[in-house]
Structure 1
């Protein structure tokens, strides 16, 4: 038996031309992707909704279209590290604040709706939520610490 493969000519794989990828900005991709999801959704909901709510939804769609078009014009390469400092600090503070707020809400929930449980039983039963909220606060603290250690220019 002959197991050697015999080629009789040029294979078709040698002639394949691949399409060139177009380089689009991330914000343009966001705008286009969001529009592809939003437009059919709005078109589906418009006949179902009451006229007043449908008109409001149509207005919101126009605002979203305008906002995302303006957003797509932003060149991310021109935004400096210094300009991003304030948003990073705010995001870190938001993480810390939200984590702390949710721990307090969880404690309030446990003390008002489950007063029969001891502290150890509460932690045993709701440890997953404690871990999430504490880790959210810790992540915010890391973000703030990173900003504090970032060199000023």
Structure 2
């Protein structure tokens, strides 16, 4: 009987070559195509079921999405500089901080109005999970803003 493993045997299967794509599409074109493949059958399925007014709005929204994604797919991501993305990164950071703070306030309002019978310890014990999520969102936003503040500014030309 041969008890040695054959998994370690060298074989010609180690040098498998994978097929290369014939055409490379940009990520935004790929996003447009995948979104259209998902959206169009959904619209075709739901449009007959919906009321006529809502169905018309649904189809108009679908055609608007087609146009928007067509424009989006024409953007060349390689031409966007790091400096041009700075306002978007700042807005994302501020949004995370603001949403986290707002949700903590909503959680406190909820606990104080709908559960006044619970003690502070019981409130913390029951709702710690949500509190941690909202604090984590705020901390993430602060990290994004701190990272953006530490980025070197591009030198201005004279």
| Alpha-carbon shift at residue 17 of structure 1 (Å) | 7.8
State the 4+ residue runs in structure 1 displaced beyond 3 angstroms: 16-19
Partner in structure 2 of residue 134 of structure 1: 135
Partner in structure 1 of residue 20 of structure 2: 20
Partner in structure 2 of residue 39 of structure 1: 40
> Cα gap change, 1:20/1:130 in structure 2, threshold over 3 Å: closer, same or farther?
same
Partner in structure 2 of residue 5 of structure 1: none
Partner in structure 1 of residue 100 of structure 2: 99
TM-score when scaled to structure 1? 0.87
For residues 52-74 of structure 1, give each alpha carbon's deviation from its aligned partner in whole angstroms, at most 9, with x where no partner exists. 11111111011000000000000
TM-score when scaled to structure 2? 0.85
Alignment of 1:144 with 2:145, yes or no, is yes
Cα distance in 2, alignment partners of residues 17 and 140 from structure 1: 44
Structure 2 alignment gaps of length 5 or more: 1-12
Report the number of matched residues: 140
The Cα RMSD (Å) is 1.6
| Alpha-carbon shift at residue 119 of structure 1 (Å) | 1.1
